[in-house]
Amino acid sequence: MGRHYLKVSKTWCMERQIEFPSILRSSLINHFLLLVKMNPLLPVIDAGRPTQLVQPFAKRIADEAQPMIRQAIHQLQINVGKLCNQTCVHCHVEAGPTKRRENMDEHTADRIVELSRQCDSLQVVDITGGAPEMNPNFKRLVLEFRSRGIRVIDRCNLTILRQPGYEWVAPFLVENQVNVVASLPCYLEDNVDLQRGDGVFSASIEALRQLNDLGYGSDERLKLDLVFNPTGTGLPPDQASLQADYKRELNEHYSIVFNELLTITNIPIKRFAMYLAKRNKLEDYFRTLEAGFNATAANSVMCRSLLSISWDGQVYDCDFNQMIDMPAITEHGRPTIWTIESFDELNHRPINTADHCYGCTAGAGSSCGGALT
Ligand code: SF4
Ligand code: SF4
């Protein structure tokens, strides 16, 4: 009864984009503490400490793969904040409509641009969130990087394109030839709505049609990629064959075209770890990831050539480490965009890993660009 009341109240607040009352927030914190009591692994995972469930990831790498050392930075992932119009169950960012405080300001965006101008190896800027388009600095970042010929990815949740006030997004993306990478965890409505919320599938289909009408998916300058992540607790299926299924189903039923399907493994941290813990599947999931360890994938994980910057300018090895506040490693301690002189300072440095990293090395491997092998 109490939980039902909390759920309804939070939805009510989110729909109206107002802060969730603190008295109810403290009830939710109590609910989280209860979960921790039920599964003491949750705080261990979110602190990046050894889970004792699997062989420590660092040991597995030392035995079977190349050392986890960053090479030249090809990709910068900028997480502009947690504000989002959705609240998906698998969300490792724990984003949502009430997360207004944790969002990048202009000063921080300016410093990232300044540092990036000295990084000659930079080829791709991946802007993520939350819903990145909801951040006031989104346009400025896109314009800056596109003017320098750098490929820009907008990690778009699709439904934002159908929100009142965001009608400018699709034409802006076209004008700047931004690579849209959009989440669509299934081509079946029920599966998508289960993971991402009621009505998300139909709004996503409308958004995809809008992008197709503007040339996305058919004009070679307007690349539209879809992201699949499992709705349950398994690893993603083979990327190529799932892409063929997606292309066939979306074309036959909705006349939608797209370029590539990227399959991404759910990383067992934060909201997804809680989701697993509630179902008593957390331990099994870690063991599944460990059993699927693939040394070839480990040698290609994205953190070997990527840096991830948070909304407040902290520097991490990837977006997942960012979400559990496991910072990149430097000689001078925790790096921020204010304490480093250039991104290249992070080259040839060890990457900070923990057991959740098995999520990137299981099966065909996983990265923000899809399977690795
Ligand atoms: S759309 Fe993306 S950022 Fe927003 S809640 Fe869902 S997974 Fe998280
Ligand atoms: S989670 Fe993946 S990308 Fe991040 S540090 Fe671990 S292996 Fe690298």
- Judge contact between 261 and 329, C-beta under 8 A: no
pLDDT value for 123: 98
* Distance (Å) from CA 107 to ligand 2 centroid: 28
- The closest alpha carbon to 361, from 238, 267, 230, belongs to 267
Report the C-alpha gap between 176 and 72 in whole angstroms. Answer: 26
For residue 16, pLDDT over 80 is answered with no
pLDDT value for 233: 85
How confident is the model over 204-241, as pLDDT tens digits?
A: 999 999 999 999 999 999 999 999 988 778 899 999 99
* Distance (Å) from CA 178 to ligand 1 centroid: 19
Q: Decide: helix, strand or coil at residue 373.
A: coil
pLDDT value for 3: 38
Report the C-alpha gap between 187 and 339 in whole angstroms. Answer: 45
Q: Which two tokens stand for residue 284?
A: 């099994």
How confident is the model over 330-339, as pLDDT tens digits?
A: 988 999 999 9
For residue 91, pLDDT over 90 is answered with no
Residue type, 258: F
Which residue's alpha carbon is nearest to atom 8 within ligand 2?
303
Report the C-alpha gap between 101 and 90 in whole angstroms. Answer: 22
pLDDT value for 331: 87
> Is 98 near ligand 2, meaning CB less than 6 Å away?
no
First to last CA, the chain: 47
* Distance (Å) from CA 99 to ligand 1 centroid: 12
> Is 81 near ligand 1, meaning CB less than 6 Å away?
no
Which residues make beta-bridge pairs with 128? Answer: 79
CA–CA distances in Å: residue 293 to residues 10, 51, 142, 304: 39, 16, 36, 17
- Compute the CA torsion angle 330, 343, 70, 289 (nearest 10 deg): 90
More confident residue, 181 or 278: 181
Which residues make beta-bridge pairs with 224? Answer: 180
Which residue's alpha carbon is nearest to atom 8 within ligand 1?
91
pLDDT value for 76: 98
Tell me how many helices (H) and strands (E) the chain has. Answer: 15, 8
- The closest alpha carbon to 76, from 115, 41, 43, belongs to 115
- The closest alpha carbon to 78, from 150, 159, 141, belongs to 141
* Distance (Å) from CA 97 to ligand 1 centroid: 10
Q: What is the mean pLDDT of residues 93-116?
A: 94
- Judge contact between 277 and 38, C-beta under 8 A: yes
Which one of 71, 270, 302, 317 would you pick to mutate in the ligand 2 pocket, going by the greatest count of ligand atoms within 8 A of its CB? Answer: 317
Q: What is the mean pLDDT of residues 329-358?
A: 95
Torsions phi, psi for 63 (to 5 deg): -80, -35
Q: What is the mean pLDDT of the chain?
A: 90
What is the pTM for the complete model shown?
A: 0.88
Matching residue, tokens 């590539």: 260
How confident is the model over 281-307, as pLDDT tens digits?
A: 999 999 999 999 999 999 999 999 999
For residue 19, pLDDT over 60 is answered with no
Ligand nearest to the CA of 361: 2
Ligand nearest to the CA of 181: 1
Ligand nearest to the CA of 57: 2
Which one of 71, 296, 303 would you pick to mutate in the ligand 2 pocket, going by the greatest count of ligand atoms within 8 A of its CB? Answer: 303
CA atoms within 13 A of residue 294's CA, in its CB half-sphere: 19
Report the C-alpha gap between 348 and 202 in whole angstroms. Answer: 46
> Is 372 near ligand 2, meaning CB less than 6 Å away?
no
* Distance (Å) from CA 321 to ligand 2 centroid: 7
Q: Which two tokens stand for residue 35?
A: 């979960």
> Is 41 near ligand 2, meaning CB less than 6 Å away?
no
- The closest alpha carbon to 127, from 184, 169, 190, 189, belongs to 169
